[in-house]
Chains A and B, each alone.
Chain A
Amino acid sequence: MSTPLAADARLARFAVSRSRRRRDAIARASILAGTVIALIPLVLIVYYLLRKGLGAWSVNFFTTDPTGNTFFGSSGIGGIKSAILGTIEIVALASAIAVPVGVGVAVWLVEYGRASWFAHTVRFFVDVLTGVPSIVFGLFIYIVLIVGTGSTYAGYKGSVALSLLMLPIVIRSAEVVLLLVPASLRESALALGAPRWRVIFNIVLPTALPGMLTGVLLAIARAAGETAPLLFTAAFTQNTNFNLGGFMNSLPVQIYKDVTSPTTAVVNRAWGAALTLVVMILLLNLIARLISRRSRLA
């Protein structure tokens, strides 16, 4: 048995020196501070969006088109009906293009291409697509569908630009999920005599469906918020338009137009439209997360 004093002395040999403890505390405090700083913008943005955006919301705001008349109060300048409908139409068509093509390429990568050099090349180019700035997609589509055809802006051209943006997200997320489908499932189906295409359509795709849906929703959420590819593909118009062959309004472009206005009422409309857009995108993200949590894979 040693005296308490001796035990303390022995322990002291293992204790962390004061300077090291201090450095540890400082470092931890800085890391915590950095984390708090990272969260500040989110709080401020949400607070301002709600404060300014809810002030602009009214029944009229959602049921009238913007009038272009900026000299009267908020009732004279109209709402954002055409922008909401335009965004929905453009993004719906963009998904109708990007989802089948994206899932098709992902199926090819997993089921046929696998580790061949061609599959690696395709993956490389899909990665390249991921990094292309969204405005460059706008330029691509402008060159091909507007300069190339000698025609003018149209909603469907905006959809094509957005679908290019969605493609890499859909392909890579679908590929990840398809890889998770157990090989035993495929093998059992093949062993029972099912041809490959039935295995893909009846076994692989249904199993991977929830996971792929998550990726698709995230891609849609990303595309819905994009302004740059639409500026000179779908352009801007005030009227509600159900014809994708004509000029088409959209929420991001409407906000961009309104930001530059000197009139307070118009800027307030931009806040209301921004809140609408963020709520739509957050809903898509939320649904995507719920689906991925309930998915059997991953």
Chain B
Amino acid sequence: MLARSPLARLPDRALKYGLTALAALILALIVYFFIRLVGQARPALAKEGVFGFVFGNNWNVGAEHFGALPLLVGTLITSALALLIGVPVAVAAAIYATELCPLRLRAALTLLVELLAAVPSVVYGLWGIFFLAPKLQGAEQWVADRLSFIPFVGGGLVTIPNYFITGLILAIMILPIVSAIAREVMATVPDDHKEAALGLGATRWEMIRMAVLPYCRSGIVGGAMLGLGRAIGETIAVTILIGDAPKLGHHLFDQGYSLAAVIANEFGEAQGVHRSALFAAGLVLFVLTLLVNGVARMLVVRAARGGGRGAGGVEKAPAGGQLLADAAAGA
């Protein structure tokens, strides 16, 4: 008597299978995109060989030579710089917001750092090339002259667009996400641990160093890796700031190119093998970000489960994926 007629059950079935199909469609779409991307990249990869494409140091459109090493190196140098500059600052801001700052300031401080995420990439490029780069050129030249004894760092002539300034802008761009994740992971440190440290006579800094940082180390590393993923994939700001010179820069303050920038800059006019080479660059970029994000996700998930060193897994923190998704959606 209580059972519904088949007709009445129809909308229920339709909704269930419709939504399942939708979810399956997303999976199929991503796989399809990937296969098509590989297909488009194939002519260039066949011409140069996969190894020759990735590690060949010769990107010459006129002569139809496509070795992506200068692009790969540009991407890696600028992203590494972004991490080197951005992560300490982001973690400092997170420590200050969670452990040291007056409670009244906390919300405002968090909001201000997160506002950086609301600035579009192209605006960072505009600001970087017309304000930051010219302002810093003198200082960069000074540093380059002083450090001329270190190979690849100093010695040469500083140009306005260069690797360093690109890395600096990328550092600013990854600040909000790295800081947001560091803050969320630090919020999972049990108060017991902190109070125990303070109770044993630790100073504030000793408490942070011994109770907070070890507990969230893998979470912070994961956040930094997620920032790295962002920096690697960042396109427009890099295109504006790196100089778009298809060669290996001689030093840190020289012009170069990156994987994302080459696509944005050359795709419009590209034909034939050149276009295929740009698809191949996109493929390398895609795989690179996939690897970096995979490792990042693993680390953050582990951290959020309370698996940090010295944590002992006493308290069950919110599921890591959720935490990460929140941070990613917010930043």
A-to-B contact residues, CB < 8 Å? 14, 16, 20-21, 23-24, 27-28, 30-35, 37-39, 41-42, 44-45, 48-49, 101, 104-105, 107-109, 111-113, 118-119, 121-123, 125-136, 139-140, 142-144, 147-148, 167-169, 172-173, 175-176, 195-197, 200, 215, 218-219, 221, 224-228, 231-232, 252, 255-256, 259-260, 267, 270-271, 274, 277-278, 281-282, 285
Contacts and interface: CB of A to CB of B under 8 A. Distances in A.
A228 B30 contact: no
30 contacts: A16-B203, A20-B203, A20-B206, A28-B100, A35-B93, A38-B92, A39-B112, A42-B115, A44-B131, A104-B22, A105-B26, A122-B26, A122-B27, A127-B324, A130-B325, A130-B328, A133-B234, A133-B235, A135-B285, A143-B36, A173-B325, A196-B15, A218-B330, A226-B121, A227-B122, A227-B235, A252-B122, A274-B122, A282-B115, A285-B118
Which secondary structure characterizes the binding site on chain B? helix
B282 interface: yes
Interface string B169-186: 000100100010000000
Contacts of A49: 123, 127
B88 interface: yes
Interface string B1-41: 00010001101101110111011001100101100110010
A24 B321 contact: no
Interface stretch (B49-57, B62-70, B189-197, B260-268): B260-268
A135 B264 contact: yes
Nearest to B2: A193
A42 B116 contact: yes
The 3 closest A-B pairs by CB, nearest first: A34-B92, A133-B233, A225-B120
A169 B329 CA distance: 5
B89 interface: yes
Contacts of A196: 12, 15-16
Contacts of A24: 203-206
B330 A42 contact: no
Given A134-B235, A267-B130, A126 B113 contact: no
A281 B120 contact: yes
Given A132-B233, A143-B40, A144-B33, 8 more contacts: A27-B209, A31-B95, A34-B88, A133-B233, A139-B279, A231-B268, A259-B240, A282-B118
Main secondary structure of the interface of A (DSSP, over half): helix
A278 B330 CA distance: 17
B103 interface: no
B92 A30 contact: yes
Given A34-B89, A131-B293, A16 B201 contact: yes
A123 B321 contact: yes
Contacts of A197: 11-12, 14-15
B93 A34 contact: yes
Given A122-B26, A139-B282, A173-B329, A271 B126 contact: yes
Contacts of A147: 40
A172 B325 contact: yes
Nearest to B32: A144
A196 B213 CA distance: 46
Interface in B207-240: 208-209, 226, 229, 232-236, 240
Contacts of A139: 37, 263, 279, 282
A105 B26 CA distance: 9
B90 interface: yes
A111 B15 CA distance: 11
Given A42-B115, A231-B268, A28 B235 contact: no
A136 B19 contact: no
B248 to A, nearest CB: 22
A111 B30 CA distance: 23
A147 B279 CA distance: 12
B206 A128 contact: no
A200 B18 CA distance: 14
A28 B205 contact: yes
A70 B301 CA distance: 52
B267 A131 contact: no
Given A133-B260, A143-B36, A259 B129 contact: yes
A35 B110 CA distance: 11
A140 B209 CA distance: 45
B297 interface: yes
Contacts of A125: 26-27, 30
B36 A259 contact: no
Contact of A136 (B101, B282, B330): B282
Nearest to B286: A136
A222 to B, nearest CB: 9
